[in-house]
Structure 1
């Protein structure tokens, strides 16, 4: 019983791993990028990873904020 509950409650997406994947894809594809590019890639990643399942509202923004805070630096 407990295993079934944890299977439903456990988040399907790890924010830190998704942030790393998001910034890697955007950096390789664009080099220089803006927040909107990260947000679009985070949404693509969620759509692929969750394949139509619902996720918590704002998860895409959490991923982008993790990228901005931990894996990027301002240009110029």
Structure 2
């Protein structure tokens, strides 16, 4: 067992913005594409109009088709 005292919790006093020379451009580009994809997929959900339909109608639109025999 060690007899060292527990270290003090980290505070935000040492937190500083990252310098532009420390940034990875490829990661920034990938994050941009990811955010664009999230925006596009959410905009389809928001503006599709399904949220305005009653629950029964939206379930009927997404249910598999019934084949009459």
Same structural fold, with TM-score higher than 0.5 when normalized by the shorter chain:
no
Larger-Rg structure = 2
Which has more helix, going by share of residues? 1
Higher relative contact order (Cα pairs below 8 Å, separated by 6+ residues) = 1
TM-score (norm 2): 0.27
TM-score (norm 1): 0.25
